[in-house]
Amino acid sequence: MGLFDKLKKTEEKETLKTHDLGGCIITKSLNEGTSRLKWIFREESVNLADNGWRALGDTDTEEYINTPGNNLVVDFDRLVEIEPAVLAIYDMPIGSDLEFRYDETGRYFIDNNTGKKIQ
């Protein structure tokens, strides 16, 4: 495999990404797949690379969340890999506070500020 073949493969992988959505903070349990997305909220960004989204899993306790090693900074693309539905809420404003649900009617978010369903 030559250099140009390697570059082409890299470009192909890059086209699968959503690009430039910034970083977010998720729990280690979400990243490792030991919990499923349950809560997601958006805070003020701490820097230009941070999009402000924070995601928590369904098994995450307050003690777990408050342990610094259990929170990871990842590219938003990683959160999309874990739960693709987050793309639908990416543009929601700072202060958004959502609960993710999945049942026989589908996968959707509940806005904790209004109680409305977001699909």
Residue 108 lies in a domain: yes
Domain around 75: 18-118
Quick one: DSSP state of residue 5? H
3-49 pLDDT, tens per residue?
Answer: 444 444 444 444 445 568 999 999 999 999 999 999 999 999 888 89
Q: Residue 1 falls within a domain, yes or no?
A: no
User: What is the spatial distance between Cα 78 and Cα 109, in angstroms, rounded to a whole number?
Assistant: 19
Within-domain flag for 8: no
pLDDT above 60 (res 118):
yes
Number of domains in the chain: 1
Alpha-carbon span 99 to 80, nearest angstrom: 16
Residue 51 lies in a domain: yes
Overall average pLDDT of the 90-101 stretch: 97
Does a structural domain hold residue 58? Answer: yes
